[in-house]
C-alpha cells in the first residue's frame, strides 16, 4: 500500500496529538466501577500516565518520486521504542490513525452512507441465529465516525432482537471509550504480545507460555479475564503448559487491593512495598514442585480459549480431545476472532456447539471497515495492518501461530524457536493473509 505525502503529514500531526490524552475524572470513575480487575495502584498510575510520541514513536516517509508534491506516493515506516509499560498503549491508536489516514487521503471513493443500517442488518442476522458476539473493530476501522455508526446499528439490532426474544446477544465492545459511551460491557482477551514479550525477555521459549499464564492468573485471579490465547507459539505448545498445575504462590489478592504476582501475596508488606518488591518472571522463577492446594490446572481455571489462526474446525477437534483427555467436563467457551463474517460465524457456531463448546465471536474489520467504491460498487478493501512486538530486553520477539501466513518476527529467530519447540509447520487453504479481507475486484456486500 502507498500513502501520499499529505496523508503522512496528517498522520504525523495526529500521532503527536496522542501526547495530549489524559484520563478524565469521569473515565476514572467508569474504570473503578466497571473494570474491578484493574486495581487502584494501576489506576493511580494511569491517572498520571501520558503517552510521549515524540520520545517513543518514529515515523518516516520514503517517497517513490523526487517531486515535492503533497500527492506524491511513498511508504510509511513506523516504529515504537521504549519501556514496555510506556509504549504498550500505542498499538491501537497508531493502527486506527494509519487506517484513517489512508482512507482520508489515498482511497477516497467512499462515504458513510448506509453504515448504520448495514451494521444493523449484520447484527440482526447474527442475533436471530443465536450468536453471542462483540465488536472488536477499533484497530482497522475506517475512521472514528464509522465505529460510532456501527455501534449505533448494532445497538438497534440488539433492541429489536430483545423485543423478539432471540437468544443471540451483543456481549460488548473491546473499545473502553465506546463501552462507557454506549453502556455496552468492555470486553477483551489477552494479546499475543503478552506471551511474545515474556518469551523474549526470558529467552526461555520452552517455559514462556506457562510463565505467562502463571503471571496472568497471579495478577487477575481465576474467573477474571479468563479467555486464553492459544496460538502464539502454536496450539500444541500452548496445550502442554495449559495442562500444568497452577503453583501455590500464583495468587491475586481479592477485591481492589494490591495485585501481587508472586509470594509477596502472602507477606505482611504494605501494598505499595509488596508491589515494588515483587520480582519479574525472569528474576524470580517458580520453585520446582510448589503446587496449588487444590491442584487445579490452567485449563480448569480459564473459562475458555480464543481461536485466532489456522483451521477453526481442526481447532475445535483439538480442544475437544484436549479437555476430554484432561477429564474436564465443565462447558468451556471458544472465542473465534480470525477474519470473521456472518457465514463463517454460523459455520463455526455449529462446529463448536456440536463439540460441546459455547461459541462466541469477536468481530472487527467486518463491522468497522466494510465499504464499497461509490463509482463502481466494488469492494473497497481494508488495510491488512498489524503492530507486533519486534524485540524485548535486546532479544528478538516472534509469533509463530497456527498458520504460516501469520508468522512474524526475525526469520532466523522464528526458525530457531520452531526447532526448540518442535513446532510442526501448518498451512490452511483459507489462511491467505493477502486476501483475508477480499480484493478490490469483488462486488460490494
**Tens-place pLDDT, residues 104-127:** 999 999 999 999 999 999 999 999
Q: How confident is the model at residue 278 (pLDDT cuts 50, 70, 90)?
A: very low
Set of cell numbers at residue 39 = 486495581
| Cα–Cα distance for residue pair 106/71, rounded to 1 Å | 9
| Cα–Cα distance for residue pair 43/210, rounded to 1 Å | 27
Q: What are the contacts of 79-86 at 24+ separation with CB within 8 A?
A: 79/390, 80/56, 80/387, 81/56, 82/52, 82/55, 82/56, 84/197, 84/392, 86/52, 86/56
330-334 average pLDDT score:
97
Set of cell numbers at residue 441 = 475486484
Over the chain, what is the mean pLDDT?
A: 88
Q: How confident is the model at residue 213 (pLDDT cuts 50, 70, 90)?
A: very high
Give me the pLDDT at residue 71, please: 86
pLDDT at 375 over 70: yes
What 8-state DSSP symbol labels residue 330? Answer: S
pLDDT at 156 over 70: yes
pTM confidence score: 0.88
**Tens-place pLDDT, residues 10-53:** 999 999 999 999 999 999 999 999 999 999 999 999 999 999 99
pLDDT at 57 over 80: yes
Q: How confident is the model at residue 323 (pLDDT cuts 50, 70, 90)?
A: very high
436 or 291, which is more confident:
436
What 8-state DSSP symbol labels residue 290? Answer: -
Give me the pLDDT at residue 356, please: 98
| Cα–Cα distance for residue pair 63/73, rounded to 1 Å | 6
Return phi, psi of residue 354, to 5°.
-60, -30
11 or 271, which is more confident:
11
Give me the pLDDT at residue 222, please: 86
| Cα–Cα distance for residue pair 54/150, rounded to 1 Å | 33
| Cα–Cα distance for residue pair 200/433, rounded to 1 Å | 25
Give me the pLDDT at residue 68, please: 73
Local structure of 178: helix, strand or coil: helix
pLDDT at 273 over 60: no
Give me the pLDDT at residue 179, please: 98
Separation of CA 262 from chain center? 26
Give me the pLDDT at residue 61, please: 95
Give me the pLDDT at residue 435, please: 58
Amino acid at each position: 500500500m502507498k500513502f501520499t505525502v499529505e496523508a503522512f503529514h496528517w498522520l504525523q500531526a495526529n500521532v503527536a496529538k496522542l501526547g495530549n490524552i489524559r484520563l478524565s475524572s469521569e473515565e476514572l470513575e467508569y474504570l473503578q466501577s466497571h473494570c474491578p480487575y484493574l486495581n487502584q495502584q494501576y489506576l493511580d498510575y494511569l491517572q498520571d500516565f501520558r503517552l510521549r510520541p515524540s520520545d517513543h514513536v518514529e515515523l518516516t516517509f520514503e517517497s517513490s518520486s523526487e517531486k515535492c508534491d503533497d500527492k506524491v506516493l511513498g511508504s510509511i515506516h513506523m516504529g515504537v521504542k521504549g519501556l514496555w509499560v510506556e509504549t504498550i498503549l500505542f498499538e491501537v491508536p497508531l493502527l486506527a490513525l494509519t487506517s484513517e489516514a489512508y482512507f482520508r487521503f489515498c482511497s477516497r471513493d467512499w462515504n458513510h452512507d448506509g453504515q448504520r443500517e448495514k451494521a444493523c442488518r449484520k447484527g440482526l442476522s447474527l442475533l436471530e441465529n443465536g450468536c453471542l458476539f462483540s465488536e472488536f473493530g477499533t484497530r482497522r476501522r475506517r475512521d472514528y465516525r464509522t465505529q460510532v455508526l456501527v455501534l449505533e446499528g448494532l445497538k438497534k439490532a440488539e433492541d429489536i432482537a430483545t423485543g423478539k426474544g432471540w437468544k443471540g446477544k451483543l456481549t460488548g465492545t473491546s473499545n473502553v471509550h465506546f463501552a462507557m459511551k454506549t453502556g455496552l460491557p468492555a470486553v477483551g482477551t489477552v494479546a499475543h504480545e503478552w506471551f511474545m514479550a515474556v518469551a523474549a525477555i526470558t529467552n526461555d521459549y520452552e517455559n514462556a507460555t506457562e510463565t505467562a499464564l502463571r503471571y496472568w492468573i497471579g495478577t487477575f485471579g481465576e474467573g477474571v479475564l479468563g479467555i486464553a490465547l492459544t496460538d502464539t507459539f502454536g496450539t500444541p505448545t500452548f496445550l502442554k503448559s495449559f495442562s500444568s498445575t497452577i503453583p501455590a504462590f500464583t495468587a491475586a489478592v481479592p477485591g481492589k487491593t494490591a495485585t501481587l504476582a508472586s509470594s509477596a501475596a502472602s507477606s505482611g508488606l504494605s501494598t505499595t512495598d509488596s508491589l515494588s518488591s515483587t520480582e519479574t518472571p525472569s528474576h524470580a522463577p517458580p520453585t520446582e514442585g510448589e503446587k496449588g492446594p487444590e491442584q487445579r490446572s490452567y485449563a480448569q481455571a480459564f473459562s475458555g480459549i480464543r481461536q485466532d489462526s489456522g483451521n477453526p474446525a481442526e481447532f475445535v477437534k483439538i480442544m475437544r480431545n484436549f479437555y476430554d483427555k484432561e477429564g474436564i467436563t465443565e462447558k468451556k467457551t471458544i472465542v473465534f476472532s480470525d477474519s470473521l463474517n456472518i457465514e463463517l460465524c454460523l459455520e463455526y457456531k455449529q462446529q463448536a456447539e456440536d463439540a460441546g463448546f459455547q461459541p462466541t465471536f469477536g468481530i472487527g474489520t467486518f463491522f468497522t471497515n466494510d465499504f464499497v467504491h461509490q463509482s463502481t460498487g466494488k469492494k473497497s478493501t481494508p488495510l491488512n495492518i498489524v503492530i507486533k512486538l519486534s524485540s524485548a530486553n535486546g532479544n528478538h520477539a516472534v509469533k509463530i501461530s497456527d498458520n504460516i501466513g501469520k508468522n512474524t518476527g526475525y526469520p532466523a529467530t522464528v526458525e530457531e524457536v520452531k526447532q526448540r519447540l518442535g513446532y510442526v509447520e501448518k498451512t490452511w487453504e483459507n489462511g491467505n493473509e493477502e486476501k483475508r479481507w477480499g480484493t478490490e475486484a469483488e462486488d460490494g456486500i
